Structures are given as structure tokens and as C-alpha cells.
Amino acid sequence: MTRCAHLLDSSREPLWRDHLAPAADRSPCLLDLAGPPRRLYPRPHDLPGWRRWFRQQELERVHAYDPPARAWAILLAAARRRVPVRVYLTNPLDPWLARLARRSLWRAELCVCATAKLADHLRQVGVDPGRVTVRTPVVAPPLGPIDRWACRRRLTGREHGAVFLALDPPDHPAELEIAVWAAAILQHAGPEVTLIVSGRCTPAARRRLAQWRRSYDAPHLTRLDSETPWDALVPAADAVVAAGPSCRAVLRLLHARSARQVIVAPAGFAPELLEGYERVRWAGSPRPRHLAAAMLQLVEENRARPAG
């Protein structure tokens, strides 16, 4: 049986863990840089320790999912031990890791990119084109039935009103602020609206959310959920709201599409990922008022739809 290590940072994208088999998820070879320290492997920047670890484990391959800059020691140790590394990317490779790759300090056996745009980026930074391929990640639907209305009541505390789910997590402030602004415009236009923000939230991100609520005069607009998995929140919402000129939350967008959820997005948003998907409500531009207009149209259609 092939022994593989899975390298990821669940603080950046927890959904990558959904791509691992249950046995791999319990294995000591799951290297989650956001997890608590484990005596089974060294600290992230301990290069000699990682070289010893690779020698002891006798691994045949490392799968790295959107590796962050602090994964440099692990990748260098794998290169010194001649362990092939397969990199899966939904966002551009970290500049520090790309610089090390250009200097041939480490080399990926294969870079699997979610979009052609990412593949072009890798070729531009000097990665061998023969080692770059494009493959959209296949996401699985939730493992069990989800009580949509119970989830809505838990999140909003009420039976009625529109519930939207922001595509971007709290650590994407530029995109998230546009979504909050659009929801605030919609709320001031009349409908009762809640915007769910999902993901790990630092104190700074909490302060930003509070500041936006004050700035847009919408004190009860947003609800932060750091515990519920993303794929469980998607069916509870009326739609997922994507903001900004480009998509940085690729796996979240693919989960929303897999769940057949309505997606409100600005024109030209993630064309490779949304091509042929008929449940997209396009806004005229990434401006908040255009997103709010698309959201309002959806709310009015849901009101006009017969109950049940």
C-alpha cells in the first residue's frame, strides 16, 4: 500500500479535508499546519527534524493542498529525500514557495490547478509547463440530510426573512465588505435580511464586521458562524453571495454549485467554474448596489412563489 502524507492548512481552507479518505484523516501522515502540535511530527520550520521524519516514515508521495509559506521546510525536506510532491491549487502559489521552486530547491511532481488562469500563473513564475495540469476539484454533497429550517432558525432566531450566505470567509475583507454593503442596501430597501458569514474569525475580523454594521447602519445584519461546516450552511440559505472581481474561495463555490444552490455573482465572475450553471443570478457589476438589485429580485421571486 502506498504511504502518502497529506499537507494542508485547515485555517485557510477547511474544505480540503473533505477530499481525504477517512483512513488518511486519522493517519499520523495528515500534516495540518493549523492543528494543535503533535509529537508525531516536528514543528513547521524545523528542517532537520522534517528530514529525519521523512527518513523514518518512508513515504512515497506528499499531497500538498494550497500550501502556505510556512510549509517551506516540509517541502524542502521532501525534496532532499527525493519524495515526489503533488500540489493542488485553488489560489496562486505563495510567492515565497514559487521563488524556492525557481531556484530548484524543491520541485513538484505535478501541479494540479483548479482553473486555466492558475496554470498560466505557474508557467509565468517558471514552473515547468509539463508539470502543470488543469483539473477542477470534484466536491461531494453533504453526508446526510440537513434540516434547512432548523438551521435557519438557529442562525437568525426567526421563521421569516431572507437568508444569504457570503461566499468569502472573514479573512477576505475586500470581497466580504462588498457583500455586507450589498446586504445592507437590500435591508434598507425593505426586506428583512440576514447575511451569514462563515469561517474562522480573528479578533481583528470581528472588529471589522462590527465596524461595517455601524457604518452601514445595519446592527443586526450579519451572523457569524465559525462552527457549522460550509456544506451544511449552503442549503439553509436562499442564495450564496459572491463579491469581488475574481474568486478566491474556489472550493466553497464548487460546493454551492454541487448543492444546486442559487449563486448571486457579478458579471464575469469565475467563468471557468460557473460556465453552464443555470442557477446564477448575474449582477451588472461588482458594485454593491448592483449585487443588491440581483438579491432583491431573488427575494421578490421567492415571495411570489406559492408556499410548499
Chain-centroid distance of CA 46 in Å reads 28
Distance, in Å, from the CA atom of 106 to the CA atom of 274, rounded to the nearest integer, reads 34
Strand partners, 113: 89, 134
Mean pLDDT of the chain: 87
Residue 198 has pLDDT above 80, yes or no: yes
User: Which of 282, 281, 234 lies closest to 256 in space, CA to CA?
Assistant: 234
Question: pLDDT tens-digit profile of 153-194?
Answer: 887 877 678 999 999 999 899 999 999 999 999 999 888 899
Q: What is the pLDDT of residue 144?
A: 57
DSSP assignment of 220-288 equals TSEEEESSS-HHHHGGGSSEEE--SSS-S-HHHHHHHHHTT--EEEETTSSHHHHTT-S-EEEESSSSH
208 near 179, Cβ under 8 Å? Answer: no
Burial class (CB in 10 A: 0-12, 13-18, 19+), 92: middle
Q: What is the pLDDT of residue 306?
A: 63
Question: pLDDT tens-digit profile of 74-125?
Answer: 999 999 999 999 999 999 888 888 888 887 778 889 999 999 999 998 888 8
Q: Which domains does the chain have, with CATH numbers?
A: 4-134 (no CATH), 148-304 (3.40.50.2000)
Mean of pLDDT values over 237-266? 92
Mean of pLDDT values over 138-160? 72
